Amino acid sequence: MSTSSLEHIAEDLISHALQRRNVLVAKPKFDHNGADLLALLDVADGAKFCRIQCKGRSLINNKKSHITISTDYVTDGFIVILYIEHDSDIAEQNMFCFFGQDIRQWRKSTSGKNYMLSFTRSNYKKKFAEHIFCKKVVDKIIKSIININVDGEFKSMGHGYIEFIIPPPILQISGSVSGI
């Protein structure tokens, strides 16, 4: 299976798992600052969100794998959820959730621009045991959304749009006629 196909499967599994637990999921039509999905609790004025990057990796034909995350993406409102395909069983037990504070503990690339997480077929279940996607993790995601600094997240998204509407100028002319 190609990496991009597995990435789509991971995104769908992650989206499904979050929605089953009443976390609203939006799929942005952009891939900016790692936002594969946006997780929300409400769609109303002042709605808060967190950015989720979905990763899918296969250990069926590989003994080891890794993921990299740009250091620029990582804020307290950024979450990575990793789906590992290890056998034919598609289960949430093969999904692992990492929050900003977790990601900042990963090894940095030699350039310092990426965080890297390596794992093997024989060690990932033990290595990621405290990150298994479960109700407790979803509760933590919900708390993260509630406590998020929205200004900081919007700044990390990096783009904006502003439109000014200026009324047409009003010209006033005055004059006088002389010599008639």
**19/97 Cα distance (integer angstroms):** 15
Give the predicted TM-score (pTM) of the model. 0.78
State mean pLDDT over 162-177.
70
Q: For residue 64, what pLDDT is reported? A: 95
Q: Are 137 and 97 in contact (CB under 8 A)?
A: yes
Please state, rounded to an integer, the average pLDDT across all residues of the chain.
85
Side chain identity at 112, as an amino acid letter? G
Q: For residue 154, what pLDDT is reported? A: 47
pLDDT tens track for 25-69: 999 887 778 889 999 998 888 788 999 999 999 998 889 999 999
Q: For residue 111, what pLDDT is reported? A: 93
Decide which of 41 and 89 is more confident. Answer: 41
The sign of the CA dihedral 64, 126, 21, 91 is positive
